[in-house]
Amino acid sequence: MNIFERYLTLWVAACIVVGIALGHFLPGIFVIIGGAELAKVNIPVAILIWLMIIPMLIKIDFRALSQVMQHWRGISVTLFVNWAVKPFSMAALAWFFIGFIFEPYLPPEQVNSYIAGLIILAAAPCTAMVFVWSNLSDGEPHFTLSQVALNDVIMVFAFAPIVGLLLGLSAITVPWDTLLLSVTLYIVVPVLIAQIIRRRVVQSSGTEGLVRVLHGLQPLSLAALLATLVLLFGFQGEQIIKQPLIILLLAIPILIQVYFNSALAYLLNRAVGEAHCVAAPSALIGASNFFELAVAAAISLFGFSSGAALATVVGVLIEVPVMLSVVRIVNASRGWYESGAAVRRSSTG
């Protein structure tokens, strides 16, 4: 993990301060940026999101899908948690905490928007950072790659229906044209561009060339993320200053969701007898979120100044420290995990 990834929370905190300050002292700039739209898509943000997402997707080799069945138990557990549990558990947590427990302490006009942002955040499993978490937990690299590739394929088809269903259940109006446009712009098109770039680089320079390209693009991706956060907090600044506890209140259901889903994936893998080197990344993939996509979708659907955009950004703020804590837990519990009867039978069989 490089210095930017390790201290991402600090960079996000700095972006909060810079964004709020710029939004307060130079509001005209943010008005101009917010108005730079084409077909409900903010052009500056679209460019930044592409710069964020495409380098991450270049890492994915979809040929790894041929290896999916090698670890079918871990794959099955992760798919179940990612697509059948996580979006719905987050929706339940959002309804309970934001719509009920914390509702008196939040701006009433933004409550539904906060709920929407949390739902969007949980509807797409993490892509790039998973490789970091898997490496830190001695995860099986082929499992991690094949699982991420499979999740990306599923995301193309499942993200919009799941988000639309849960927003509808929350009585939030779903702008389907904008949602489908977001899926196309921020999933389908970046995947195609990334795979074209990957194939051409590998053909011309081999694997070493691909490593060099990824190394060169990584700072650009992180810079685009931080620039997007500055813009978001520039729009959200006045609201945060008035109610600084908003970020803390939004973080609570996200934290519960991460620990619940990682524990569920970890325990299910132990129950079915999967090896720890698969269970660890399975738990991490099951808990983490594709926050870059979530930020883009929230902005497209609800706008820069919406509670939905802010809720997804809180996910970015706590991503690194909370996932590092999950890594420590799965590493420290390896002995307990491997003492499970199903795991011992599988290892001897």
Round to whole Å and give the CA distance between 325 and 333: 12
Question: 37 Cβ partners below 8 Å, 6+ apart?
Answer: 43
Q: How many CB atoms lie within 10 A of CB 17?
A: 12
Give residue 156's pLDDT: 87
The conformation of residue 41, written as its DSSP 8-state character, comes to E
Give residue 260's pLDDT: 96
Give residue 207's pLDDT: 85
Q: Which tokens sit at 295?
A: 């930020």
What is the set of domains in the chain, with CATH numbers? Answer: 3-348 (1.20.1530.20)
Choose among 226, 193, 197, 224: nearest CA to 212: 197
DSSP class per residue in 46-69: HHHHHHHHHHHHHT--GGGGGGGG
Greatest alpha-carbon pair distance for the chain in Å reads 67
DSSP 3-state percent helix, strand, coil across the chain (nearest 5): 85, 0, 15
Mean pLDDT, each 10-residue run in order, the chain (349 residues): 68 83 82 75 81 82 81 92 94 96 92 94 81 85 88 90 89 81 84 91 90 84 82 76 84 95 95 93 88 82 85 82 90 92 73
Three-state SS for 125? strand
Q: Which tokens sit at 301?
A: 């659907």
